[in-house]
Amino acid sequence: MLAVKCRRRHFRVVLALAASVIVANNHSLAAAEQSATLTLRQALARALATNPRLTAAERDVGIAAGKKIQTGAVPNPELSFELDNAFGSGDYRGTRSAETTLQLSQLVELGGKRNARVAVGSAELDQAGWQRQATRLEVLSETATAYLTVLSAQRRIEILNEHVASLDRLTPLLQQRIDAGASSPAEILRAQVAADLTKVERERAKTNLATARRELAVLMGDASPRFGKLSGQLANVGRPASFRTILSAIESNPQLMRWTAVRAQRSAELLTARLKPIPDVRVSVGWRHYRDSGDSAVRLGVSIPLPVWDQNQGDIRAAEETLAKSNAEQAINKAALIAVAGRSYEVLTGALQELKLLRSSVLPNSRKAVQATEDGYAQGRFTLLDLLDAQSSLAQAAIREQEALQSFHTAVTTIEGLIGRPFIITREIPR
């Protein structure tokens, strides 16, 4: 009995150790995922693999493929059985005078109706394929934009960290001036207030970064971020193509290419509506047995509806209007894409002008001003307010550069998503 209890106790210990090892391994894997650097190429690949919108678009293609198969189906034949002259009275009592008929009939479609239906199904399948490509571009563009947002938020925090560090470096210098009687203790408080306000701005930036990281994670199929810092540099900018070139490239956008399939589908639907009044023929062949005489005979039949009252004029009119509407709908779609491209191109060119001015004048002069003010402050030629103002101007200029870079790359990503050739302009960003 004692040996059994020892074995049970030993088994529990082994189970506890195994569970602790598994938990430790899971924590290690989770920590590795949280610290792993994420590249743009990895983010795009994960989005394409897990985004449910792409899964839904793929299912739409499958649905359209199934409908196309069904459109080519030939109507099934019909088998019928008839019993006449039975269960009556007199000579027709019971089944002694019964006539038994076994008949097979088939509907024969005329006028090319089946081919018209197949054309509708083929066009619908093409349309679903173009829509899948359009959805893929949208997911790529949205993921790249979210990636750039996180990357920009990271850079903003770095700028604020640098500003806080520069303010913290003032404390020893301030203390020296106070000890020398050149400044009052209130200046330390003033510098501390400036540093604290920057820290408040940094906390807000951290919140925005956390929000952006979660939005990127959702696009990649995760409820919460499972990656560390993002890899990439926003500082490099490329020269964009001309707007005329972008307009020409928009023609290949899947949203516009889809309209070729839409018109083909609606043309086939119009043809189907026009062919509907053409009567189909139903042919039948049967075998009839006369029980009272024991004779048998073959029965042949042909039936055809007479299109007297219904000429399907209403459906034909509706199909004609729907087809004519296609050109207007395509024009609306194209105008919307051009409007988005135009806004993005203006943002892009405006950001380039901002960057040119910031990098050629504002940032260099701000750095020189900070250095000169710090040197002059140490010599007593400038006040603390002058130094704080110079440092604040430098930090604001750096933040403006970060915002301009984010606007530039986001606009480029939007345009690349519109022209159907994604992520070819911002090659300077490491993948």
63's tokens: 């649905």
State how beta strands 281-290 and 78-84 pair: unpaired
The pLDDT assigned to 387 comes to 83
CA 364, CA 10: separation in Å to the nearest integer?
Answer: 71
Strand arrangement, sheet containing 99-108 = 78-84, 99-108, 281-290, 295-303
The pLDDT assigned to 379 comes to 75
Query: Does some domain include residue 5?
Result: no
Crossing angle of helices 170-179/384-419, nearest 10°? 170
The pLDDT assigned to 368 comes to 93
How many C-beta atoms surround the C-beta of residue 344 within 10 A?
A: 22
Q: What is the mean pLDDT of residues 246-263?
A: 90
H or E element that contains 283? strand 281-290
Given a contact cutoff of 8 angstroms between Cβ atoms, the answer to whether 61 and 130 are in contact is no
Q: What is the mean pLDDT of residues 317-338?
A: 93
Q: Domain containing 153 — which CATH number?
A: 1.20.1600.10
In sequence order, what DSSP letters do the residues of 244-281 get, joined into one string?
A: HHHHHHHTT-HHHHHHHHHHHHHHHHHHHHHHTTSPPE
> Above pLDDT 90, what percent of the chain?
50
Query: Does some domain include residue 298?
Result: no
Q: What is the mean pLDDT of residues 312-339?
A: 93
Query: Does some domain include residue 6?
Result: no
Q: Residues 396-422: pLDDT tens digits?
A: 999 999 999 999 999 999 998 888 765
Looking from the CA of 40 toward its CB, the CA atoms found within 13 Å total: 25
Q: Residues 204-218: pLDDT tens digits?
A: 999 999 999 999 999
**Exposed, middle or buried by CB within 10 Å (0-12, 13-18, 19+), for 161?**
middle
Query: Does some domain include residue 153?
Result: yes
The pLDDT assigned to 183 comes to 62
This prediction's pTM: 0.78
Query: Does some domain include residue 92?
Result: no
Given a contact cutoff of 8 angstroms between Cβ atoms, the answer to whether 95 and 291 are in contact is yes
Band (pLDDT 50/70/90 cuts) for residue 424 is very low
Query: Does some domain include residue 403?
Result: yes
Count of the separate structural domains present in the chain = 1
Query: Does some domain include residue 282?
Result: no
CA 288, CA 301: separation in Å to the nearest integer?
Answer: 13
The mean pLDDT value of the chain amounts to 84
CA 276, CA 273: separation in Å to the nearest integer?
Answer: 5
* DSSP code, position 397: H
Query: Helix (H, G, I), strand (E, B), or coil: what is residue 42?
Result: helix
Query: Does some domain include residue 259?
Result: yes
Q: Which residue has the higher pLDDT, 73 or 181?
A: 73
Q: Which residue has the higher pLDDT, 201 or 190?
A: 201
Given a contact cutoff of 8 angstroms between Cβ atoms, the answer to whether 109 and 280 are in contact is yes
Q: What is the dihedral of CA 352, 155, 144, 235, to 10 degrees?
A: 40
Range of the domain at 253: 37-73+109-276+312-419
Query: Helix (H, G, I), strand (E, B), or coil: what is residue 331?
Result: helix
Q: Residues 1-46: pLDDT tens digits?
A: 544 455 555 555 545 554 454 444 444 444 445 557 899 899 999 9
The pLDDT assigned to 31 comes to 46
